[in-house]
Chains A and B, each alone.
Chain A
């Protein structure tokens, strides 16, 4: 398939959907809303920000209470296309699907969202982002949640895959007949949980007394930028907002590095030191999430390291922990 067919698909989608895609801004790739297919950046570079706001808005209204009546809030978001998600971002998206499987708001939004993955060569991507992946998995697409996936080959030829009925219908509607349908085979491969997940899990679980946590606590500012830019961070607060219409119950992104995160009545905080916060975050990524979902809590995209003001590098931290074991 050729590029013009992809452009035609995207042009048609732009007339019905808000489209978020990788764009280049001042030399760096970001995920942003586009109004023309020409704005899309196909370099395969990992955008600095993530797609997660498409699936979990930074602030979201859940319910309204007016005159003693409770009503479920409407989704403020239009139909959205998340275009250009790479393998790692699709892994993060697959984790969100597991975490929010019983969340009516997430599920409602998912119905109105089209997920389109893109890669300049999956195998190559695996080599490039190998930090936490042991080997290239040929059947990687079978274990990811997406509607359409496009792989660009070295000769610029495009291979289309559909990952859902919605994806199939969109391809057919846009006269893309030559595609392969990938049946989702569950997030976890038949051969079981990725051994690298188990290795990292053990390294972090047994590391509480490792000096690295003190070293990191010395330099970490607990600013929470890593959590904002992390595609697998999803923790939130729930709070009320009052206006002339009544009370709105809100869900809002937060960060385990923020001072109030664990504060209870009377002022006690479980996470009362930077060291405890850092360990809590790593434990969440490498132990709690793998335990709960047998899945990656970190997809090794490296965004946290790119935005960290004191250059804490998650890959290097993991390497040191693994070395100690």
Chain B
């Protein structure tokens, strides 16, 4: 029987500094050659003595099967410790857990608030070259110091549609004004029949969804990726339940309609 709680050592093979508080750790499992996952899945990652926490996988699942990336913002003791790791250090991981984002057939709208863009970048990477799929990317964050994957943004802008907005400042050539992500959504024409994937802080969801509905987006096409406290990652420990489902096992991506049904937006 597989031990669902067994952590595996993973070696840091590269550290990419995304911004002053966010690093991407490129990891390779020490005793395992192949590692497969889906865009939207997450890992439980820890440092001995500091516990573990769920972190979205930020690399492209269609790329190398030998490594994966976790992009981590420093928000507490463990994430601070993880972001101090250097090439050659070890993190201890379990996973991948959860389900990915649903398949996209037509167009795609990606809405990421703050570090919510991290799992969505994976989705973008997977669909950016797909025929007949146009992608609209919305990114909102506080300032340049909290913006993730900045270097990649010009290529998104070139290939598809990039809409970036920051609360505190403008970014020459990339951002469209100053303010909140909802200000951007209000202004833009959103692809009508597209699947809309949203990820960001909990407080953002109800405002973003409200704007999307005002724009006439079909609620059935809206999916949200949630952050919840989790311990086991496999739907047992009961920390992350929403109604009859578990964010770790059945999520972290849920259709908007499911969340409404279970009172998530009250």
Chain A contact residues, CB within 8 Å of chain B: 62-63, 65, 68, 70, 72, 99-100, 102-105, 107, 208, 234-240, 242, 246-247, 249, 251, 256, 261-266, 268, 270, 280, 283-284, 287-288, 291-292
Determine if A264 and B229 form an interchain contact, defined as CB atoms under 8 angstroms apart: yes
Determine if B9 and A237 form an interchain contact, defined as CB atoms under 8 angstroms apart: no
The answer to whether B69 has its CB under 8 Å from any CB of chain A is no
Q: Sample 7 A-B pairs with CB under 8 A, ordered by A number.
A: A62-B5, A63-B7, A237-B239, A238-B231, A238-B232, A262-B239, A288-B241
Partner of A240, one of B5, B50, B232: B50
Determine if B1 and A107 form an interchain contact, defined as CB atoms under 8 angstroms apart: yes
Considering the chains assembled together, what is the distance between the CA atoms of A243 and B73 in angstroms? 28
Determine if A236 and B5 form an interchain contact, defined as CB atoms under 8 angstroms apart: no
Determine if B75 and A284 form an interchain contact, defined as CB atoms under 8 angstroms apart: no
Considering the chains assembled together, what is the distance between the CA atoms of A187 and B202 in angstroms? 39
Knowing A62-B5, A236-B231 are in contact, say whether A266-B241 is a contact too (CB < 8 A): no
20 additional A-B pairs beyond A99-B236, A236-B231, A268-B202, beta carbons within 8 Å, are A62-B5, A68-B90, A70-B7, A70-B9, A102-B2, A102-B4, A104-B4, A104-B5, A236-B236, A238-B52, A238-B231, A240-B50, A240-B51, A242-B49, A247-B49, A261-B239, A262-B228, A266-B75, A288-B241, A288-B244
The answer to whether B243 has its CB under 8 Å from any CB of chain A is yes
Which residues of chain A are within 8 angstroms of B48 by Cβ–Cβ distance? 65, 240, 242, 246-247
Minimum Cβ distance to chain B for residue A258 (Å): 11
Chain B contact residues, CB within 8 Å of chain A: 1-9, 46, 48-53, 75-76, 79, 90, 92, 201-203, 227-229, 231-232, 234, 236-239, 241, 243-244, 263
Minimum Cβ distance to chain B for residue A193 (Å): 15
Determine if B238 and A256 form an interchain contact, defined as CB atoms under 8 angstroms apart: yes
Which residues of chain B are within 8 angstroms of A68 by Cβ–Cβ distance? 9, 90
Partner of A270, one of B6, B79, B228, B231: B228
Partner of B4, one of A103, A261, A268, A284: A103
Partner of A280, one of B49, B76, B241: B241
Determine if A70 and B8 form an interchain contact, defined as CB atoms under 8 angstroms apart: yes
Knowing A70-B6, A247-B48, A262-B229 are in contact, say whether A284-B238 is a contact too (CB < 8 A): yes
Minimum Cβ distance to chain B for residue A200 (Å): 14
Determine if A238 and B228 form an interchain contact, defined as CB atoms under 8 angstroms apart: no
Considering the chains assembled together, what is the distance between the CA atoms of A59 and B187 in angstroms? 54
Considering the chains assembled together, what is the distance between the CA atoms of A63 and B8 in angstroms? 11
Minimum Cβ distance to chain A for residue B246 (Å): 9
Minimum Cβ distance to chain A for residue B226 (Å): 10
Considering the chains assembled together, what is the distance between the CA atoms of A283 and B238 in angstroms? 12
Determine if B5 and A238 form an interchain contact, defined as CB atoms under 8 angstroms apart: yes
Which residues of chain B are within 8 angstroms of A62 by Cβ–Cβ distance? 5
A238, A242, A283 interface centre (most CB from chain B within 10 Å): A238
Partner of A238, one of B75, B201, B237, B241: B237
Which residues of chain B are within 8 angstroms of A102 by Cβ–Cβ distance? 1-2, 4, 234
Minimum Cβ distance to chain A for residue B148 (Å): 16
Which residues of chain A are within 8 angstroms of B201 by Cβ–Cβ distance? 266, 268
Considering the chains assembled together, what is the distance between the CA atoms of A266 and B238 in angstroms? 21
Taking CB as reference atom, which chain A residue is nearest B234? A102
Knowing A235-B238, A261-B229, A262-B229 are in contact, say whether A291-B244 is a contact too (CB < 8 A): yes
B3, B232, B234, B238 interface centre (most CB from chain A within 10 Å): B238
Partner of B3, one of A72, A240, A242, A287: A72
Considering the chains assembled together, what is the distance between the CA atoms of A265 and B201 in angstroms? 10
Considering the chains assembled together, what is the distance between the CA atoms of A102 and B249 in angstroms? 14
Considering the chains assembled together, what is the distance between the CA atoms of A72 and B4 in angstroms? 12
Determine if B9 and A265 form an interchain contact, defined as CB atoms under 8 angstroms apart: no
Which residues of chain A are within 8 angstroms of B243 by Cβ–Cβ distance? 283, 287-288
Which residues of chain A are within 8 angstroms of B46 by Cβ–Cβ distance? 240
Determine if A249 and B5 form an interchain contact, defined as CB atoms under 8 angstroms apart: yes
Taking CB as reference atom, which chain A residue is nearest B3? A104
Considering the chains assembled together, what is the distance between the CA atoms of A28 and B81 in angstroms? 50
Which residues of chain A are within 8 angstroms of B263 by Cβ–Cβ distance? 208
Considering the chains assembled together, what is the distance between the CA atoms of A249 and B231 in angstroms? 12
Considering the chains assembled together, what is the distance between the CA atoms of A105 and B241 in angstroms? 23
Which residues of chain A are within 8 angstroms of B228 by Cβ–Cβ distance? 262, 264, 270
Taking CB as reference atom, which chain A residue is nearest B242? A270
Determine if A287 and B244 form an interchain contact, defined as CB atoms under 8 angstroms apart: yes
Taking CB as reference atom, which chain A residue is nearest B266? A208
Determine if B229 and A263 form an interchain contact, defined as CB atoms under 8 angstroms apart: yes
